[in-house]
A and B are shown apart, each in its own frame.
Chain A
């Protein structure tokens, strides 16, 4: 509980920073104006542009952190993340296809495609999860699914009609939260809430799975149903996050490890802290992407990996001891 309060405090601090700073620097008097008159240009920068973007980063990061924690628990593997079952690859491929087909002009078409791609992959994995207990089976199947998603994306690149479309696809695959507004947040909320609900439902089973499939199977819990719920939850969360921000790696892998030690390494207790840690990570990464001076704005996926990977290596170094089983 103390961990959650601490993390929430951190999240609010990160959000405040993210709203306060950005590409355009404001003087103190301008901040005062913005608060006095939200309709003023300064107010528009803070509450019309930065605030929804920061909240979108928080929501996306939370979804990825939670999905990563659920995947790690389900597969009993500290290296698992939302991408491991091919969900993000299919989501990205479906979005790329939508862009190339020129659906970008239709509102929500690309976002829906991203979510649809994730759900298609998620459904395939869920069918498998209901039938087979062993995490290795799921991982192998996921690797195949991810490779297929990657190949479809490459094929779309290959056959793409124009360089402009290619640039669009590439931008999507590298992840960005530029120009996200409140309506984007509203649209992502429903699938994310549903996904989080599935994850919460499956939480208890993750703890049981720590002792192996057979112990879990005899624990009295409806394991087949709970495994499907975990996969469905992770797929919804990942799909909604790709729809919101494109493909962003790393957050789902790293967030659970940042809080694991403080949550007694319990795969159920680690879920909520992982979500908040993921939110903090992505809000800060997006802030960095905006304030680092560069010709064009840095891509969010680039920033998360560039700054997150060394940090993660440090955490992994410290945690390595407890992974030895």
Chain B
């Protein structure tokens, strides 16, 4: 019963949600909306479990003085301070002028932007490795990348502006992006969409049941 009931609920709700995609009538759409709202409420409860896990893992690390434990103290203090400030300020805690808004604007946003900015350096190092020509395929990739990058900047006009229209870098890069690149991308997307359907069907039919628990 511990496994059968969740499997039954998954199957019934899964099929009902598929039905709601085709049947817009209120007898189906209203319960479907209700189920989605229930999911939002469940997620809210889930955050309590998540918060408890954060505290447990980090208190454990501080207690055992694991590497970097000092940063765990910073994390726990920041977590508690942010929650307390938000709770004291109540609804509208992110309105202009609130302390929560100050924390968001002056601490969180800056740190987030810093992490994102690192991407520029990582792209440079990854591109350096990607364009090393070791095989014929890697050579093809490097040439295609060079054409696309050059074809998208004004320099391409200076280099190939005197050539006929079809031979200009801008035209060639447009062709690469429009046909080979798009065809490959759409093939991957179509395959992935079928994979989504297959996974969904496996879950709904109860074939994929490992997510329930460890017991058979």
Tell me if chain B binds chain A.
Answer: no
Write the residues of chain B forming the contact surface with A, with a CB cutoff of 8 angstroms: none
